[in-house]
Amino acid sequence: METVNPSVTQRVPGWWKVNGREIKTDPNYSFGEGNLLINDPHVINHGGVYQCIATNTFGTIVSREARVQFAFLQNFTRKSRNTVSVREGQAVVLLCGPPPHYGEIKYSWVFDEQRSFLQQDARRFISQKTGNLYIAKVEASDAGNYTCAVRNMMTNTTVFSSPTPVVVRRDAVMGEYEPKIEVQFPDTLQVSKGSSVKLECFALGNPVPSISWRRADGNPLPGKIKINHSSGVLEIPYFRPEDAGVYECVAENSRGRNVARGQLLFYNVEHPHWVQTLKDAHMAIDAKLQWECKAIGKPRPTYKWLKNGEPLTAQGRIHVEAGRLTISRISLSDSGMYQCVADNEHGAAYASAELKVVASPPDFSRRPVKKTTIIQRGGEVVLECRPHASPRAAISWWRGSEPLKDDDRQTITHDGTLRITNISKSDGGRYTCVARNHFGTSSSTGTLMVKEPTKIIVPPLSLDATVGQSLVLPCEVSGDSSLSPVFKWFFNGKAIDFNRKEHFEMIGGGFAGDLMVRNVQLKHSGKYVCMVQTEVDTVSAAADLIVRGPPGAPEGLVVTDITDTTVQLSWGSGPVNHSPVTMYIVQARTPFSIGWQTVRTVPDSVPGQMMRATVKDLNPWVDYEFRVVAINSVGVGEPSTPSKQIRTKAAVPKVAPVGVNGGGGARGELVITWEPVPEEQQSGGDFGYVVAFRLLGSNTWIQTVLASPEASRYIYRNDSIAPLSQFEVKVGVYNGMGEGKFSRVASVFSAEEEPSEAPSRVSARALSSSEIEVYWEPVPAGSSSGKIIAYEVLFWEEGSQQSEAQKVKVVNTSALLSGFKGSTVYLISVRAQNSAGLGPCSPAFNITTKKPPPSQPPGNIEWNLTNSKIFLNWEHVKATQNESEVTGYKVVYRQNWHSRTAVLETNKTSVELRIPSGEDYLIEIKALTEGGDGTSSGPIRIPKMSSLNSEGCVHPVPARICSITMIFLFWVFIL
């Protein structure tokens, strides 16, 4: 339903009509809030076209039409049907003849009053267009009664016809004949977008024909197509433009074939909808009304106009042309509600608007003359006079008490506007607009103030700058002192936001608004405009800023002409950033380099206008990436994107091994060593070494090949080689391309002979229960062909095997051994070692370690602190039979938290220590024996005492009472 104009707030009375007649009192109709409710509707009494009419003081409008139709299904007539007689093999068509109905209908047939409906197959077909039953070839079993069943899918009701008897004659059998298409679809069928279309096709014939479908243009049938009832129905859901075309139904049996065809045309249905609608119009008497509405739809909509719900026809002042309505010289009687209706066969669209015709005297209350107008001297002013008046008012202007007339500077336009050009100071004053029409006169006054114009006296100047600099673009103006200029800066057409405070800052004040650009960057190149605004005028000045910076990255780097040591590079120029490129440098990196390295080129220095170079002195068979860096007078630019990785071609190795040396090894060995050639200098695959050597004085080189690029050592074994024989040695290289250079010849000696004698005069002494010191005489110089580099001391407990001995290596002729058990016999032997190996062992030497020190620590420790002296007393430690006798005591003391300790040895059980006051001290006491230090008493903490005396005791539990001789008692904690 259409609504009235949105500005109407009062209740809108509404009424309804059906088929053009107003609905009055009727028990089946009820109304509520504009809605129409039909109670107990009847197909005959209440079907039709309904429309709502809304009326208020502004006029009347009508809603869209609503059509009400009722689904129904009447009964068949009870008249009996004639018997159908048919020969076996002949075809038969049984007519349904459905009763009157409305709504979707589904047809079925019942055979001989069976409970289920007749099933369709290749021989029997029910048309959902007509309801007829088609039997392509009658069989003897087809004899019986056939009843047509019609079901209304909306009301869910079903009616049955009178039965049609079918008799199969047996006096003759129908012969075979070609198919005859009895059910077929139209020659041309329009299908709307998105709808579903069903095509029926069924043929009579003997034998029973087969049905198939195809497109006449040879294209395959769309995958969405459904074929039902033994190919009798073809359904195309969601019809699209590509589904349009000629479709063929082919009926075929052994006697022949027949074809039915029809064309499906795509039909794009579109309900009318508005692209231009109406707007309410408030107009003065005698004005001209022009309204236009436009709608689109398929088919193209037609238009009609309504006024207050009634058709509007063209006559006199009213002109109607499609969606355009024109009314000339409107009067009060033309006021009302107007509607434009666009409709086609698929629906209608309604647009509504109000025409209000106004008659009134001039009124300036809504749009008075501007109270104050400020203009610059020499400028131009426009004073508008637009009172509300109907009909339109006649306008005149007054300056003070004098009327104004048109002259070379003053013009009053047809709409009442006053225009004054080339303003001078004398033009200032009060201006009054007077408006008159048939209904009255009114006026409105405003003041014109003339100010001095604003001029830019110090404009910004175009500048060149370098990245990182700071600069100022000046902007200073002169103008009327009563005006406050507002400065704005624009960069490349966009206003600068000074709140961001990144690079731009406006400095100055009053009549100056300079722009400071800090830390200028390349992005700041462009056009800068200073705009100054006052109440009366706007002026501006522009300047160009060119920022010069290091060049941008070169582009499009390409590597060509790859050899073993050279490549050709070419590239394109990147942004020059307002400073031409003076030269390029080329850099490379490999898997072996640390970052990017500058490489040598031809020419040595690549000038800025040249964008190609040959890179030389590369290593063969190495993966390289290249990049190019441009340089100009400002600095070094960003490097180009690295090139694709390439590999130089292989070549014969040019680098020989260095550090060729050797010596050592076992008897009969010649050990040769060298530094491996780095991978980046191997120049190709299948890299290896050729080791050559000869006895000094010999002319014949012995060579061997090592196929490992990581090899750095070769051992030649020959028992006939005399110890320390001098050899000449050299190492060469090769790869898949051939053999390279040999290193310089080096002298290397063969292995020495192991020492032949054992150290003599081996002796030892037990230092404690856990330490033994061993001495011996060195091996004589003549007993070894080489230098003695170490001695090995072996020691093991008596009763065990020498193979279980522990070993200690030293370079001197004595050794301090530790980790022994107390009171235990040990065997000791010594042997010499040179680069060839170990010599024979000396005869085993017996020695017994001393008894272990006492396990009992000093006990009952008492201490007394007086100023800077500590007096300590403890009980004597008694050794057991298996422990060493106590020969004295060791007192170890240190300040708390300090690692440096002091040691005092005594043969008494008391001691006096002199220490500074003001610090805590830690003290330990151990027994001294020839078997070593005894068990410690544990740390004793003596607290600091600035000027007081104290004493304490430490004893094992149970403790005896310690006497207290001073005021304060401090217990010593075992930490």
Write down the pLDDT at residue 513.
92
Cis peptide before 361 (omega within 30 of 0): no
Label the pairing between strands 612-615 and 567-572: antiparallel
The three-state secondary structure class of 141 is helix
| Alpha carbon distance 533, 485 (integer Å) | 6
Strand partners, 519: none
Tens-place pLDDT, residues 304-345: 999 898 888 888 899 988 889 999 988 888 889 999 999 988
Q: How many CB atoms lie within 10 A of CB 877?
A: 25
What rounded mean pLDDT belongs to the chain?
86
List, in sequence order, every residue forming a beta bridge with 249; answer none if it has no partner: 213, 260
Give the model's pLDDT for residue 486: 93
- Select from 971, 901, 897 the least CA-distant residue to 936: 901
3-state SS class at 244: coil
| Single-letter residue type at 522 | L
Distance CA 621, CA 648 (A): 5
- pLDDT at position 974 is 29
Q: How far is CA 416 from CA 89, 285, 435, 456, in A?
A: 99, 19, 9, 36
pLDDT at 960: 33
Q: What angle do CA 519, 524, 525 make, to 5 degrees?
A: 125
Query: What are the residues facing 527 on neighbouring strands?
Result: 544
- Per-residue pLDDT at 273: 87
* 255, 324, 749 from 301: Cα distances, Å: 53, 14, 115
CA gap 545, 504 in Å, rounded: 14
- What tens digit of pLDDT does each residue of 190-233 get? 888 888 899 999 999 999 999 999 999 888 888 888 887 566 89
Report the first-to-last Cα separation within the chain, whole angstroms: 101
Residue stretches of the chain with pLDDT short of 50: 1-12, 946-948, 956-975
**According to the model, what pLDDT value does residue 254 have?**
92
Nearest to 733 by CA among 675, 785, 649, 775: 675
Residue-level pLDDT at 580:
94
Is residue 432 a contact partner of residue 383, using CB atoms and an 8 Å limit? no
- Burial of 652-689, coded b for 16+ CB within 10 Å and e otherwise, reads bbebbbeebebbbbebbbbbbbbebbeebbbbbeebbb
Encode 282-335 in three state secondary structure: EEECCCCEEEECEEEEECCCEEEEEECCEECCCECCEEEECCEEEECCCCHHHC
Residue 4 C-alpha from the chain's centroid:
52
Encoded tokens for 60: 């009347």
Residue 972 confidence (pLDDT): 31
Q: Is 118 within 8 Å of 109 (Cβ atoms)?
A: yes
Beta bridge partners of 639: 629
CA 20 to centroid of chain Cα atoms: 65
Scan for tokens 């109270």, then name that residue: 371
Distance CA 296, CA 272 (A): 5
Burial of 974 (0-12, 13-18, 19+ CB in 10 A): exposed
Question: What is the per-residue DSSP string for 324-374?
Answer: EEEE-S--GGG-EEEEEEEEETTEEEEEEEEEEEE-EEEE-SSSPPPSEEE
The string of pLDDT tens digits covering residues 47-101 is 788 888 888 888 888 878 788 888 888 999 989 999 999 998 899 999 999 999 8
DSSP string, 438-499: TTEEEEEEEEEEEEPPPEEEE----EEEETT--EEE--EEE--TTS--EEEEEETTEE--GG
Identify which of 950, 969, 915, 933 has the alpha carbon closest to the alpha carbon of residue 858: 933
Q: Distance between CA atoms of 921 and 918, rounded to whole angstroms?
A: 10
pLDDT at 863: 84
Query: What would the two tokens of residue 206 be?
Result: 């003997």
Q: What is the pLDDT of residue 247?
A: 94
595: left (phi over 0), alpha (psi -120 to 50) or beta: left
Structure tokens that stand for 688 in this block: 């290896």
Write the DSSP string, 865-878. EETTEEEEE-PPPP
Query: What contacts 414, CB < 8 A, 6 or more positions away?
Result: none
**How far lies 442's CA from each of 196, 358, 365, 384, 433, in Å?**
71, 17, 10, 15, 8
- Residue 724, classified by CB atoms within 10 Å of its CB into exposed (0-12), middle (13-18) or buried (19+), is middle
